Amino acid sequence: MKNVSSIILAAGKGSRFGSELPKICHTVGGLPMLFHIIKSCADSAIEDIVLVISTKLSDVSSKIPLSCTNEANIKTAVQPVPLGTGNAVLYGFKQCSKASEWIVVLYADTPLIRAKTIQSMLQATDSKTGVVVLAMKPDEDSGYAKLIAGPDETLFAIVEEKDAASYNLRDGHRFLSLCNAGMLIRREIAEQFLDKLPSSPITQETYITNIVELARETGRTCHYVVGNAEELRGINTRADLAAVEKSFQERMRRAAMDGGVGLIAPRTVYFSYDTAIEPDVIIHPFVTFGPGTVVRSRSEIKSFCVIENAEIKSGAIVGPFARIRPNSVIQENAHIGNFVEIKKSTIGVGAKINHLSYIGDASVGDEVNIGAGTITCNYDGFKKRQTIIGDKASIGANSSLVAPVNIGAGAILGAGSVITEDVPDDALALERAPQVTLKGKAKKIRAKRTI
């Protein structure tokens, strides 16, 4: 939407988190909470997005994943001194596109907000509208500001909770059991009043909520739309973060199952914000997906696997107790078994690595069989080196492949070998010290130790 800008308030201290990391950088589903709300704005077709940040947070626009931006123009505005939400919106407004007729104000610590919820504010406008507030019903002890409705049920004002007890309601006016979770402001209202918001005599802060009364005094009407409380929940503490993570995971699990994914024990499976799983995948209990993971149809992920930034192709079986690390591809019908770790490697079609192996910085061909205990020795102390294993090669158990090394197609490596040189196609390679057998020696040792 070219006529809409979004200002995301992200300059809060987050002091209750007890962390040196800014609150908005803590993650939900593997993605900083700030980036969640950027993605929701971009998904709602808002092309102009301004982040209001503090001086302690460096420019974050260059760190936002492309999957979150949807080609939106992301800008930043620094609020040098934390003087309230009104002051923060004023700094953000200066960066908004001049072509925007509406300004959406959102909070960076409400990461579960959906694009359709943002759009609901725009759908509530008409030619007389000055402000639309996105409202939610909070917990009773929330501490949020309270909405006041007029006799005609339009929005009359928003009052901070500490001031609500002394506020004199006019005839026909009433407090609503709702609080502010976002706001849509007509541009001319923002231009007229953002620098005229009243300051608190105690803190000298200005609050964006006061713009409702100012807009109404110009003859503009103000409205509210009610959103889902779970979706609009703000994060102020680590307990809040855990609650929002729980809600996010439930959302992802429902979406996966609605899309045809089989979750045997849904509550034990954890997703990242961008996990993509195709229909007819079976996921066993206690599986964790890190960012950047794609799982193709008809594959199966068994229990206690961790998969991050990897692609599991159709018909593959992974686990149990497998770890698939970034930049790995498990090709069709491959088997990755228990206690196998794959890192930055491609495992070929129908290949089998069934137990107790580490494969790193490798290209494993089709129908390769890798025995238990095999490792690719990919690090020489200075650089990572590559191992290449050709199609249909057979790697004996407990083999060490010292990279860089190339194992030819159809080659066989004897169990327990340490391979330091290339092996040609269809060759047999063995590397073992001669076995020494001393007859009767074991009996003598036992006898000596019992004396």
Place of tokens 């990919």: 378
Angle at CA of residue 184, ends 181 and 188, nearest 5°: 145
Q: Is 322 helix (H, G, I), strand (E, B) or coil?
A: coil
Rounded Cα distance, 334 and 329, in Å: 10
Q: Is 384 helix (H, G, I), strand (E, B) or coil?
A: strand
Residues counted in the chain: 451
Residue at 208: amino acid letter: I
Among the listed residues 287, 333, 286, 337, the one whose alpha carbon sits nearest the alpha carbon of residue 313: 333
Among the listed residues 182, 215, 186, the one whose alpha carbon sits nearest the alpha carbon of residue 115: 182
CB count in 10 Å sphere of residue 20 = 6
Residue 41, both tokens: 């704005």
Active-site pick, 26, 36, 223, 355? 355
Residue at 355: amino acid letter: H
Say if CB 270 and CB 287 are below 8 A apart: yes
Rounded Cα distance, 69 and 44, in Å: 11
Task: Name the maximum alpha-carbon separation found in the chain.
Answer: 107
Residue 445, both tokens: 């040792």
Active site (annotated) includes residue 355? yes
Q: Is the dihedral of CA 355, 360, 366, 370 positive or negative?
A: negative
Residues marked as catalytic = 355
